[in-house]
Amino acid sequence: MSVTSIDRAGTVATNELPHHVVIVMDGNGRWAKKRLLPRTAGHHAGVKTTRKIVEQCVENKIRALTIFAFSSENWKRPEQEVSSLMELFMSALQTEVKSLHEQQVRVRFVGDLSAFSHRLQDKITQTMMLTENNTGLQLNIAVNYGGRWDITQACKIIAEKIESGKLRSDQIDAQMFNEHVCLSELPEPDLFIRTGGEQRISNFLIWQMAYTELYFSDLLWPDFDRQAFNDALVWFAGRQRRFGKTGEQIEQSGHG
């Protein structure tokens, strides 16, 4: 078991920090409803929380943070909410990119970007290019992303390689398949956090999260603060990760 402490600024000191955290930021709509505000006000408040959690990941020297900003299924929301979310992404990128760059954050986007307006796609490309060589936190923003889409597009690429004779079917194994899904260049997610009280994965990174520790918080995303993120990190530090082995094997190897 690792020793974990939290200093007064809320930075977790531990040798068991996750390398890669993924977050489903749920509860913006309910947060707004409780205040009799439009749902978009909840999304605006959600962006503020996202900013703070990114800063906290930078402070804790976490290697990668992947956030689910818009799922393949979110197109089913009322048209007005979808378009205001698009506007929000655009304005958030405009206002946040300078500070992200200063913090050495490398911003990447994962998902099917072709469905977005050219204006938004251009902004996304500019953001990725500007921050490409940054060496700090890698922030992956999943937009129009779905785990089943990710696996399906990997299958298509592999099938095309077979059709063109570049690959034989007996060369397919989990490791080579993994090279064709999103985020394969990063360590697999260690810690999944979902706010908003629901306990499901909702088609996020379903291939990548085979061994991820799952943490659920009842807080609505705009209310998820530094303390709440620290609580998740401390919870993670106390987990024994077995990857199919027995608890005794892990304890004997000194990683328990």
Closest approach, Cβ 69 to ligand FPP, in A, equals: 4
Residue 84 in the binding site for ligand FPP (CB under 6 A): no
Taking contact as CB under 6 A, which single stretch among the options 27-35, 177-185, 208-216, 232-240 is the one that binds ligand FPP? 27-35
Q: Which residues contact 248 (CB under 8 A, 6 or more apart)?
A: none
Residue 28 in the binding site for ligand FPP (CB under 6 A): yes
- Name which of 16 and 26 has its Cβ closer to ligand FPP: 26
- 26 labelled catalytic: yes
Q: Tell me phi and psi for residue 228, to 5 degrees.
A: -65, -40
Alpha-carbon distance of 19 to 61, in angstroms, equals 9
- Which x/- pattern, by CB under 6 A, does the window 183-202 give for ligand FPP? -------------x------
Instruction: Give the active site residue among 15, 26, 122, 170.
Output: 26
Chosen residue from 69, 100, 110, 232 binding ligand FPP by CB under 6 A: 69
Residue ranges with strand state E in 7-128: 12-13, 20-24, 64-71, 106-110
Residue ranges with strand state E in the chain: 5-6, 12-13, 20-24, 64-71, 106-110, 138-145, 191-194, 213-216
Residue 46 in the binding site for ligand FPP (CB under 6 A): yes
Query: Annotated active-site positions, please?
Result: 26, 74
